[in-house]
Structure 1
């Protein structure tokens, strides 16, 4: 009996926590695309710097 209760309780807790946290995460998701864009820009700049360094080293 204890094993069955232990397995059923975490599922109920997960669903309750997910439903309660959904409205909290909605406003947090909006600024993330900007962060992803900045991360992409940083990755692009890093790749350009690496390619420039490689081209200079090859020359």
Structure 2
């Protein structure tokens, strides 16, 4: 693994993705473990931005 990849993996393991994204997007609990909010990349009225904390992933 490269140093860059090591850094990304360490950051991913240590950062709380819900807290980080929650500083920029108002998130609501969506299901047992996930969160959703309005997409910060385009204007919308229905939440389509999803955050998955167990996988440290958003889409």
Structure with greater proportional strand content: 2
TM-score, scaled relative to structure 1: 0.28
Structure with greater proportional helix content: 1
TM-score, scaled relative to structure 2: 0.28
